[in-house]
Structure 1
Amino acid sequence: MTDRTRAHVYVSGKVQGVYFRATTRDRAREVGVDGWVRNLGDGRVEAVFEGSEDAVAQLVEFCHEGSDAARVDDVEVTYEDPQGEGGFSVRW
């Protein structure tokens, strides 16, 4: 899988308590992206997306919009070498 990539994302705004994590999980499973998403103590959401470049790009783009009730103020993305994530989960 030569075009596999990994994006480490931090999303700021009104992104907790608005189904952001569940919607991200559902979207990731739809496009075949592995990784995880979790709330941080400072109010941000952190996520890791691993998969094809196109699918990961779709998830990063989704993070700029978020769930219907979310208000995204900022998205920080760092691209890294894949680490072999399997499946997609919501972490606590």
Structure 2
Amino acid sequence: MAGGHGGFEPVKLDPAIERWSQMRENVFQHFKFTKRATRQVFTWGLLVPAAIATIAITFDNKYDWAGKQKGSSLLKGTPAKPVPQEE
């Protein structure tokens, strides 16, 4: 189907893409921690998840969506919107 049979190659191979693919497959063999790589690991591996967790923890119990009426506050602990009394 997609593979070459009998000397026929249905897909033309690009040497640049093949080199890049080979490099990506073997990156673990040549990786070194440089200042730039260390900074990126620290930023994307520690600071960004810590910031997202801090925001999530801060807003976790701040709002209450259950049973709220139109016009009443979503903040937790606020009284429900008063229902007007008919006389």
| Higher RCO (CA 8 Å, separation ≥ 6 residues) | 1
Do the structures match in fold with TM over 0.5?
Answer: no
TM-score (norm 2): 0.21
- Bigger helix share: 2
TM-score (norm 1): 0.20
